């Protein structure tokens, strides 16, 4: 087994890493990761349907403990970041 020194590995800090092609990136990660306190979006879905479940699952993965997701009208929900 070769050591890192023998492989001549160099850390790149001047540019971002390329996008993954083996595992597709989550569009929810792209949306939620950059959100700051006070940012929000509206979701049109029914309680318990596929969209509702996906938003909740993505929020638990990418915004754990920093968000609120509440109903405002029939089939309309607000997702908001409440902690920065």
pLDDT tens, 7-18? 777 888 999 988
In a domain, 8, yes or no: no
* Residue 62, number of CB atoms within 10 A of its CB: 17
In a domain, 13, yes or no: no
| Whether the model pTM is above 0.85 | no
Averaged over 11-33, what is the pLDDT?
A: 84
DSSP string computed for the chain = ---HHHHT-----SSPPPPPSSSPPPHHHHHHHT--TT-EEEEE--TTSHHHHHHHHHHHHHSTTSEEEEEEETTEEEEEE---
In a domain, 44, yes or no: yes
Return the pLDDT at 1: 57
In a domain, 68, yes or no: yes
In a domain, 1, yes or no: no
In a domain, 22, yes or no: yes
32-81 tens-digit pLDDT = 988 999 999 999 998 888 999 999 999 999 999 999 999 999 999 999 99
Return the pLDDT at 79: 95
In a domain, 12, yes or no: no
Structural domain count of the chain: 1
Q: How far apart are CA 45 and CA 62, in angstroms?
A: 20
- Enclosing domain of residue 47: 18-81
DSSP β-bridge partners for residue 76: 44, 73
In a domain, 46, yes or no: yes
């Amino acid at each position: 087994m070769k050591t890192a020194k023998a492989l001549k590995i160099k850390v790149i800090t001047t540019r971002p890493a390329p996008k993954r092609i083996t595992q597709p990136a989550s569009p929810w990660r792209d949306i939620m990761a950059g959100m700051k306190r006070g940012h929000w979006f509206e979701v049109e879905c029914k309680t318990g349907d596929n969209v509702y479940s996906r938003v909740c699952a993505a929020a638990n993965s990418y915004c754990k403990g920093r968000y609120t997701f509440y109903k405002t009208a029939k089939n309309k929900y607000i997702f908001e970041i409440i902690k920065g």
